[in-house]
């Protein structure tokens, strides 16, 4: 494998950065594979629920699809907890950062805030504030996040619910995460 000539970034040449750009572009093409691998490993993580985190994610995506949600929402439901293993204290932010370039702002915002909104269902049992989401009550995506949490996230812990497999959702993950990322200015308009 060819490598750059520098040991500090400020010493890099145009040829160095063109080489790195080529490697980066190749790396980006395998993003869907890494996402699917990470989702598959959610089945090995956090315990205590009646179903594992992978089944929860698949069930949330299945519920979104059954509700007639578009592809961006279905993928958002599928990956919303992908950060549970690596970022348990801010898993929503990790998932939101992953999906941000590939979906409209509303979907990104909901993924980013779903952890806070979910606290309405359980925080009072732990002596925490269940009403943190009230801070966003006037936000244009507030109702979308309420729907996401109520219909797809908090309800998706049912071992009897007929749930699609990761293989079923694989083409959708590949489609969303293989498309050209939205430029920041275009995302705001969506």
Domain extent listing, the chain: 13-189
Tell me the two tokens of residue 20: 């790195």
Q: What is the mean pLDDT of residues 82-109?
A: 94
| Angstrom distances, CA of residue 21 to CA of 85, 97, 98, 100, 184 | 30, 21, 20, 21, 20
Q: Give the count of beta carbons closer than 10 Å to the beta carbon of residue 179.
A: 11
Share of the chain above pLDDT 70, in %: 96
Distance of CA 140 to the CA centre of its chain: 20
Q: What is the pLDDT of residue 165?
A: 98
Q: What is the pLDDT of residue 187?
A: 46
Please list, in sequence order, all residues whose beta carbon lies within 8 angstroms of the beta carbon of residue 168, skipping any fewer than 6 positions away.
none
What radius of gyration do the chain's Cα atoms show?
19
The answer to whether 63 touches 77, Cβ cutoff 8 Å, is yes
3-state secondary structure of 37: helix
Q: What is the pLDDT of residue 180?
A: 87
Q: Whose CA is closest to 84, among 108, 48, 136, 109? A: 48
Q: What is the pLDDT of residue 47?
A: 82
CATH of domain 13-189: 1.10.3210.10
Query: Whole-model pTM above 0.95?
Result: no
Q: What is the pLDDT of residue 45?
A: 76
Q: What is the mean pLDDT of residues 131-160?
A: 98
Residue 102 has pLDDT above 70, yes or no: yes
Q: What is the pLDDT of residues 110-139, one digit of tens each?
A: 999 999 999 999 999 999 999 999 999 999
Mean pLDDT value across the chain: 93
Please list, in sequence order, all residues whose beta carbon lies within 8 angstroms of the beta carbon of residue 69, skipping any fewer than 6 positions away.
77, 152
Q: What is the mean pLDDT of residues 72-92?
A: 94
3-state secondary structure of 99: helix
Q: pLDDT category, 182, cuts 50, 70, 90? A: confident
Q: pLDDT category, 184, cuts 50, 70, 90? A: low
Residue 190 has pLDDT above 70, yes or no: no
Q: What is the mean pLDDT of residues 88-104?
A: 95
Distance of CA 34 to the CA centre of its chain: 13
Residue 14 has pLDDT above 70, yes or no: yes
Q: What is the pLDDT of residues 19-58, one digit of tens each?
A: 999 999 898 899 999 999 999 999 887 789 999 999 999 9
């Amino acid at each position: 494998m060819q490598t750059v000539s520098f040991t500090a970034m400020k010493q890099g040449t145009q040829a160095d950065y063109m080489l790195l750009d080529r490697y980066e572009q190749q790396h980006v093409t395998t993003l869907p594979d890494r996402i699917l691998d990470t989702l598959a490993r959610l089945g090995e993580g956090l315990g205590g629920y009646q179903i594992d985190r992978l089944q929860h994610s698949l069930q949330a995506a299945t519920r979104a699809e059954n509700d007639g949600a578009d592809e961006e929402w279905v993928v958002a439901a599928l990956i919303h907890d992908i950060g549970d293993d690596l970022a348990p204290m801010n898993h929503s932010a990790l998932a939101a950062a992953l999906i941000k370039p590939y979906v409209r702002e509303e979907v990104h915002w909901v993924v980013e805030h779903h952890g806070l909104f979910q606290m309405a269902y359980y925080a009072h049992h732990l002596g925490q504030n269940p009403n943190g989401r009230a801070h966003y009550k006037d936000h244009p995506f507030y109702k979308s996040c309420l729907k996401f949490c109520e219909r797809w996230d908090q309800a998706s812990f049912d071992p009897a619910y007929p749930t699609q497999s990761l293989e079923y959702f694989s083409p959708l993950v590949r489609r969303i995460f293989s498309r050209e990322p939205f430029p920041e200015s275009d995302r705001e308009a969506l």
